[in-house]
Structure 1
Amino acid sequence: MQDKLKELKSYLSEVYDLNNISALLNWDQNTFMPKGGATARGRQLGLMEKIAHEKKTDREIGRLLDELASYEKSLPVDSQDAAVIRVARRQYEKAVQVPASFMAEMVSHLTDTYQVWVEARSANDFTKVQSYLEKTLDYSRQYAEYFPHEHIADPLIDDSDEGMTVEVLRPLFSDLRKQLVPLVKAIAEQDPVDDSCLKKHFPEQEQWKFGLDVIRQLGYDFDRGRLDKTHHPFMTKFSLGDVRITTRVKENNMTEALFSSIHETGHALYEQGISMNFEGTPLAQGASSGVHESQSRLWENIVGRSYGFWKHFYPKLQATFPEQFRRVSLDTFYRAINKVEPSLIRTDADELTYNLHVMIRFDLELDLLEGRLAVKDLPEAWRERYKSDIGVFDPKDADGVLQDVHWYFGNIGGAFQGYTLGNILSAQFYDAALRAKPNIPNQIQDGEFGVLHGWLKENLYQYGSQYTAADIVKRATGSDLTVKPYLAYLQEKFGKLYSLK
């Protein structure tokens, strides 16, 4: 059995490396590649997807999994070998449902679509990419049809958040919306917070240096990573020893680069914290999209926008930008970075309204997949939902339906639910960390993040995908997924900020 397991791991290691080669090509496309390389890059990524898909659906993997079934049952449930077999079986059984030729064709199309999206967004013209998006919708539906499902979005959701379905998510999001809307409304009735201190001129070089210092102090390992610029910030991994992040810089708003860098650092800390024993196996990745997003939101919002965090870092920020912040108090700055205000851009949204952005996209995805909304009508449907749900809209496509890269670089469906699940779980994980280590807030105030980072590594990061998302949440926090810590966190923080009863 050990020989068979070793043979299985050899196949899995090749799949792992092929996927990471594709990730490297994607990273290059999103950072340094000249636009003239787009067509060839599409062919290259399509070829890589075809080779990887053929490898991970090799009949030898199926044979080995069958022969290892009894051995798996004899192993402790929480053993690494049992987890490797379990996760490999899940991935294999899903992969064999989809032809390699289809995957290669779809990936090549999505690569082309990304380049067209960059141009369409720059030109503020949705029609440039409309036909590409229509084809993406067709591919997304075709992909879903390869799997049994109750709702056409379920297979797409399951790829990112195993076990989650439309039936589970719709009521969860509905309940959350009911709790958030009154809080947002109560704040909207007050005088707006003055955040003009954030909208002065901040030279890129100084922003970059300050951001590097912050994420290094949080624990990002630059011996196993790097920070670069891109159109849409992201984290990617080529191995557990090479976890990279990107950001974008606006010289008229210093929060853009800083908080997107902290956000992506949260993702990277998770990946860098996975046990090195998992390298080359399907366990060397996060448990789910929602669990992954919980770490970016935990570090960006719960830590990075906390008063204690800035009690430590604000003097350093003032020293970096003396002209901009010399006469701005910490309290004024803290209120500014936590301002609640309806906005057009998801990535710029505050903690309270952010989930409304996600829910709009989730609902529109379902409408598209169900055939109740045509792609050509998407820009107008987008504006109508923003008017009704958030109270703002912009006739420009660039700040509307073109603002997110997701639909132009991946399937339609299965991505956005992870953001709200991540928000919910961020507070649940942090609440568990505080119960175990009550002094964490004081340590954050002193600029010490090792205890929180250590608790997360011990209870979450090291396990990668050894456990399902549901299992790791239960193991780390002692309970199933719950919105209570998240709502309590929001009510306490913003209740104080806005003097709400």
Structure 2
Amino acid sequence: MPPRESYDWLRAHAVETAHIGSALALLHWDQSTKMPPAGHTHRAAQVASLAGLLHERRTDPRVGEALAKAQAELLRDDPDSEWVANVREWERAYMRAVKIPAGLAVALARAAAEGETAWKRARPDGDWPAFLPYLEEIVRLRREEAEAVGYAGEPYDALLDEYEPGETAATLEPVLTGLRRELVPLLERIQGAPRQPDRSILTREYPLGCQRALCREAVAAIGFDFEAGRIDPTAHPFSTRIGPGDVRITTRYNERFFNEGFFGAIHEAGHALYSQGIPGAHFGTPCGVSVSLGVHESQSRLWENMVARSRGFWRHFLPRAVDRFECLRDVELDAFVLAVNDVRPSLIRVEADEVTYNLHVLMRFELELALLRGQLDPRDLPEAWNEASRALLGLTPPDLADGVMQDVHWSAGLLGYFPTYTLGNLYAAQLFEAAGRDLGGGPGAMEERFAAGDFAPLLGWLRANVHVHGSRYVPRELMRRATGAELGHEAFMGYLTAKYEALYGL
């Protein structure tokens, strides 16, 4: 086949493969939201079968042959073109896939499905012995995968690259070290501030039906399209793109803690806005998927923290919350805003404030490195977790459910994933700063837009500068084009310092 025909064949093959991936995503969503408990064994078999089929398609020798022919046109085309980006990313995915034996790919999928089910059963009672065999199998298989894929530095790099192309433990270390160095003094200043929030505002009685209604209203206001998505409760919040016109978000509600359901919903809606903003015409191609988990996380953290925890946002939404929750009728705006921006070390990552959140991520990153290096045995994770929690957060979990078993990620095989959360925070700050500059008026003008319930300018800027590109550019290049800056912790620390000095009267 000539280059153009080869490209057309690759595109058709990729779209059909993506349809199968969509079916797998729907099975995962169902497993986490609607599936009856007795169906888990059959679901693991379904997932494994589809994973095997996907692996066969991704490693089909015809893909390699078509890529070789399509490459002939790359030097003649615009380096920023859809053709070049798609071929580049198809080749990257193909070269990774062919290094993983089919049996390993199927075993990984099955272990993840079984592990997540085991975690759901074992977590409520902190039953570590019941969960440990599944985790041991996942760690063993992921180490095997890292060796099969190969790496220049260390095994962790092979797994991290799957989620954040181009990043390694070595490239992340100086960024994370600089961040930690400035976070700890800021946290100490906040803890010593004379002005402190009344956290009890958030632990009053918040009826679940009213929470669901407010969450739905809020995610719709920031731009989530309910004609092309839905929101459901789950054990661990997530967002998933089934395909064009079908993006789903989940959250978990707590009648005695407002933040859990509301900010969980906004966080996942941030992911979903990205997914809904990717052009459906590119479905199945690299230009039709998000570029990385770090960039994806930048969208959720931006909307959750920089928008939904802002004073402008609550100038608009607090009256609506008061209409739904009788317990808020005596609460003033400033008291509520300070409460939702409460800073204090806590045990649960997904409920952590902006200042301490990255300490949770750093802890998990260090534990994952030790696991992949063989310096830490999975059976010793509870003790290692508690030691790290005491060192970084000053807290010892009272039980395993709120400690080493709190996150779904390791049970689902997602080793190498956690650093993308901190990358998301750093990218979010750079994007928010750039959007304020480009839209005019900076942070003050942005606050006024939020107070008026006008979130469209910010969403439009993100659509034009991030969402529309899919994977046309690698993550750091996308961020350079959107913000004009290199990755660093400076914008994030500047944002945190200005915000919390004002809130806490520092």
TM-score bracket relative to the smaller structure? over 0.9
Q: Matches of 2:361 and 2:121 in 1, distance apart?
A: 24
**Cα contact 1:139–1:411 (8 A) shared by 2:** no
Are residues 1:445 and 2:451 paired?
yes
Are residues 1:460 and 2:460 paired?
no
**Cα contact 1:136–1:411 (8 A) shared by 2:** no
Matched residue SS, 2:287: coil
Match of 1:296 in 2: 300
Match of 2:336 in 1: 333
Q: Matches of 2:476 and 2:487 in 1, distance apart?
A: 7
How far did 1:276 drift? 2.3
- AA aligned opposite 1:400: G
Go from structure 1 to structure 2 and tell me whether the alpha carbon gap of 1:411 and 1:298 turns closer, same or farther (over 3 Å shift): closer
Match of 1:235 in 2: 239
1:374-413 deviation line (CA, Å, top 9, x unaligned): 111110111111111111112300000000000001243x
Are residues 1:310 and 2:314 paired?
yes
Q: Matches of 1:409 and 1:379 in 2, distance apart?
A: 18
Match of 2:430 in 1: 428
Match of 2:182 in 1: 179
Q: Matches of 1:141 and 1:105 in 2, distance apart?
A: 13
**Cα contact 1:87–1:283 (8 A) shared by 2:** no
How far did 1:441 drift? 2.5
- AA aligned opposite 2:36: P
- AA aligned opposite 1:22: L
Matched residue SS, 2:502: helix
How far did 1:280 drift? 2.2
Matches within 5 A, 1:164-175: 164-175=167-178
Match of 1:284 in 2: 288
Q: Matches of 1:38 and 1:228 in 2, distance apart?
A: 19
- AA aligned opposite 1:105: A
Match of 1:52 in 2: 54
Match of 2:225 in 1: 221
Match of 1:114 in 2: 116
Matches within 5 A, 1:258-407: 258-321=262-325, 323-407=326-410
1:415-434 deviation line (CA, Å, top 9, x unaligned): 00000000011010010101
Q: What is the TM-score with the length of structure 2 in the denominator?
A: 0.97
CA RMSD of aligned residues (A): 1.0
Q: Matches of 1:225 and 1:120 in 2, distance apart?
A: 31
How far did 1:148 drift? 2.5
How far did 1:60 drift? 0.6
Deviates more, 1:356-365 or 1:473-482: 473-482
Q: Matches of 2:388 and 2:125 in 1, distance apart?
A: 23
1:453-498 deviation line (CA, Å, top 9, x unaligned): 0010011111111111011101100122121111100000001111
Counterpart of 2:87 (choices 81, 85, 88) is 85
Q: Give aligned pairs, total.
A: 498
Structure 1: any 5+ residue segments left out of the alignment? none
Q: Matches of 1:22 and 1:395 in 2, distance apart?
A: 37
**Cα contact 1:241–1:272 (8 A) shared by 2:** yes
Q: What is the TM-score with the length of structure 1 in the denominator?
A: 0.98
**Cα contact 1:11–1:56 (8 A) shared by 2:** no
Structure 2: any 5+ residue segments left out of the alignment? none
Q: Matches of 1:410 and 1:134 in 2, distance apart?
A: 11
Q: Matches of 1:446 and 1:473 in 2, distance apart?
A: 29
Q: Matches of 1:91 and 1:366 in 2, distance apart?
A: 24
Match of 1:159 in 2: 162
How far did 1:5 drift? 1.4
How far did 1:26 drift? 0.4
Deviates more, 1:131-140 or 1:275-284: 275-284
**Cα contact 1:232–1:248 (8 A) shared by 2:** yes
Deviates more, 1:419-428 or 1:16-25: 16-25
Matched residue SS, 1:339: coil
Q: Matches of 2:334 and 2:80 in 1, distance apart?
A: 47
Percent identical among aligned pairs is 41
Counterpart of 1:482 (choices 485, 488, 491) is 488
Q: Matches of 1:200 and 1:100 in 2, distance apart?
A: 52
